[in-house]
Structure 1
Amino acid sequence: MTHKIAILGASGYTGAELVRLIATHPGLEIAALGANAKAGQSMSAVFPHLRHLDLPDLRKIDEIDFSAIDLCFCALPHKTSQEVIAALPRDLRIVDLSADFRLRDPAEYEKWYGNPHAAPELQKQAVYGLTEFYRDQIRNARLVAGTGCNAATGQYALRPLIAAEAIDSDHIVLDMKCAVSGAGRSLRENLLHAELSEGYHAYAVGSVHRHMAEFDQEFSALAGRPVAVQFTPHLMPANRGILATSYVHGDAAQIHRVLTEAYADEPFVHVLPYGEQPSTRHVRGSNFCHIGVTADRAPGRAIVIAALDNLTKGSSGQALQNANLMLDLEETTGLMLAPCFP
């Protein structure tokens, strides 16, 4: 059986990444592509690298007939997404890639995103989309809220350790290096090549990065008490990839053992041999996450490093992984692409 799907926000990076992944998926057919600003254009005109695919033209979202659509991916900006999803048919299954339904408490959404939640009733239905940890809930969900790419990377490194009490949850320093595509495709002066290349800088320093809200929500729920990691993201002059370096208090050998056991049966999360470190170049363009553990020089401290592709495992690949579950398909379908190297 082939399921018909729609992608809203298809003219953005995550929309294009969804098209790339779904193009070889045997169980999905792209029936509609929505992109208001570029409506009427062909996908090949917006993304020439997809020229070889037979795709529908981009259309305004309100012109799409959703009656024959089995599942809809929403790759729209936050605030826009909640308004659009609220107007979609109530029986349509949705995977949202924006930030609009990630936070369970609408008050927390308003605190971190600066505007009241426009669809609080829908928020109650949403399942957090970190597949490896919410698999059972995702299968039966009507609305799945994809994680932030930074939030996903940090959680893969730390969730099993917090749950097993293998580290001191009060002393976690998370240093993250993020590629520029995580900022989206909109034109911004600080993301111009001349402004970004040959440099490297921290941003959202202190307590202002919105993905902190996801860390607070998820880590505190695991620990059964408030957990506030120290987190600083850095923008690196690369197109794809996130490298998260976590400095933790705990026994490195035990940490490696806990992570290895936690991900032993996971097809996309690979814990490297003890002392080996991951690189973004080894996961580029794939749905894989690599995790490495090394002992710090000081006894009782360890370094845990995770790497993934922000557009794939951190966003569109995660969305497709969730959609496979929702449609009762093999979870790995369309996602076993090898990383692009070099």
Structure 2
Amino acid sequence: MTHRIAILGASGYTGAELVRLISGHPNMSIVALSGQRKAGMAMAEVFPHLRHLDLPVLCRIEDIDFSQVDLCFCALPHKTSQAVIRDLPKGLKIVDLSADFRLREAEAYKRWYGNDHIAMELQAEAVYGLTEFYRDEIRAARLVAGTGCNAATGQFAIRPLISAGVIGLEDIILDMKCAVSGAGRSLKESLLHTELSEGYHAYALGSSHRHIGEFDQEFSALAGRPVRVQFTPHLLPVNRGILCTAYVSGDAAEIHQTLTSAYVGEPFVQVLPFGTAPSTHDVRGSNFVHIGVAGDRIDGRAIVVAVLDNLTKGSSGQALQNANLMLGEDETTALMMAPLFP
């Protein structure tokens, strides 16, 4: 069976990544691509690396016949997605890559995104799209909310440790290094090559980064009580990748064994030998997550390092992984490509 796919926001980085991944899927066919500002253009004009593919011309969302679509990926900006998804056919399967359905409480959404949510009636059916931990719910879902890329990286490092009770909950520190593609494709002065290259800086200091809302929601639910982590992202002048260095209290050997056991059988998560640290080079362009654990010089402290590609496992690859489950396909279809190196 061939599943008919639409991608809204196909002219952005995550939209292009979806096209790249789906082009290798034996049971998916892209029947519609939207790009409001680039409507009427061929994808080959917008993304020349996709010129070998036979793709629909970019169009406006209102010109898509959704009766001919089985599943829609929504790769639109935050605040835009909720308005668009609210008006889509009620039976249409949707994977949303924005933040608009990640947070379950209206108050939390307003706090972190600065506006009222206008489609809260849909929030009750939205499933949080961290596949390895919500697999059964995703399989039965109509609407899946993709995670933030930083939020996903930190959760792969920490979730099993909270569940197993092997780390302290009062002093979790997440130090995140992030590629510039995570900021999207819109022109911003601070992201110009001359502004960004040869430098490295922290941003969203303290409590201002929006992905903190996901950490609060997910970690607190696991622990059964409020959990507040320290989280600082840093912007690197690289195109792809996120590296999270997590500092936690607990026995390092036990932490390593807990993560190893938690991810047994997971096709995309690799826990490295004790004392080995992963690099973003190891997962570039792939749907894999690599996790390393080491002991700290301070007794009772440990370091957990997790890496993933923010555009693939952190966004579009995760979205396709979820779509595979929603459509009854093997979860790994079109996602087992090896990382790119060098």
TM-score, normalisation: structure 2: 1.00
Percent same amino acid at aligned positions? 74
User: Is 1:148–2:115 an aligned residue pair?
Assistant: no
Q: What is residue 90 of structure 2 aligned with on the other side?
A: 90
SS where residue 303 of structure 2 aligns? strand
Q: Take 1:247 and 1:16, find their aligned partners in 2: how far apart are those partners?
A: 34
Q: What is residue 46 of structure 1 aligned with on the other side?
A: 46
Q: Take 1:103 and 1:204, find their aligned partners in 2: how far apart are those partners?
A: 19
Q: Take 1:326 and 1:125, find their aligned partners in 2: how far apart are those partners?
A: 14
CA distances 1:144-165 after superposition (whole Å, capped 9, x unpaired): 0000000000000000001101
Deviation of 1:68 after TM superposition, in Å, equals 1.2
Q: Take 1:131 and 1:293, find their aligned partners in 2: how far apart are those partners?
A: 22
Deviation of 1:186 after TM superposition, in Å, equals 0.1
Deviation of 1:194 after TM superposition, in Å, equals 0.3
SS where residue 54 of structure 2 aligns? coil
Q: Take 2:93 and 2:30, find their aligned partners in 1: how far apart are those partners?
A: 15
Deviation of 1:168 after TM superposition, in Å, equals 0.2
Q: Take 1:50 and 1:38, find their aligned partners in 2: how far apart are those partners?
A: 16
Q: What is residue 179 of structure 2 aligned with on the other side?
A: 179
Q: Take 1:46 and 1:65, find their aligned partners in 2: how far apart are those partners?
A: 23
Aligned partner of 2:265: which letter?
A: D
CA distances 1:256-312 after superposition (whole Å, capped 9, x unpaired): 000000001100010001111100001000000000000001110000000000000
User: Is 1:233–2:236 an aligned residue pair?
Assistant: no
Q: Take 2:214 and 2:134, find their aligned partners in 1: how far apart are those partners?
A: 14
User: Is 1:3–2:7 an aligned residue pair?
Assistant: no
SS where residue 58 of structure 1 aligns? coil
Q: What is residue 197 of structure 1 aligned with on the other side?
A: 197
Aligned partner of 1:303: which letter?
A: I
Q: What is residue 132 of structure 1 aligned with on the other side?
A: 132
Please show how residues 296-315 of structure 1 align to structure 2 within 5 Å.
296-315=296-315
Aligned length: 342
Q: What is residue 15 of structure 2 aligned with on the other side?
A: 15
Q: Take 1:125 and 1:111, find their aligned partners in 2: how far apart are those partners?
A: 21
Q: Take 1:107 and 1:85, find their aligned partners in 2: how far apart are those partners?
A: 20
Aligned partner of 2:191: which letter?
A: L
Deviation of 1:124 after TM superposition, in Å, equals 1.1
SS where residue 81 of structure 2 aligns? helix
CA distances 1:109-141 after superposition (whole Å, capped 9, x unpaired): 011100000100011110000000000000010
SS where residue 287 of structure 2 aligns? coil
SS where residue 59 of structure 1 aligns? coil
Q: What is residue 279 of structure 1 aligned with on the other side?
A: 279
TM-score, normalisation: structure 1: 1.00
What runs of 5+ residues in structure 2 fail to find an aligned partner? Answer: none
CA distances 1:5-51 after superposition (whole Å, capped 9, x unpaired): 00000000000000000001001000000111100000000000000
Q: Take 1:51 and 1:273, find their aligned partners in 2: how far apart are those partners?
A: 41
User: Is 1:270–2:304 an aligned residue pair?
Assistant: no
Q: Take 1:111 and 1:67, find their aligned partners in 2: how far apart are those partners?
A: 36
What runs of 5+ residues in structure 1 fail to find an aligned partner? Answer: none
Q: Take 2:214 and 2:60, find their aligned partners in 1: how far apart are those partners?
A: 31
Runs of 4+ with >6 A deviation: none
Q: Take 2:93 and 2:114, find their aligned partners in 1: how far apart are those partners?
A: 27
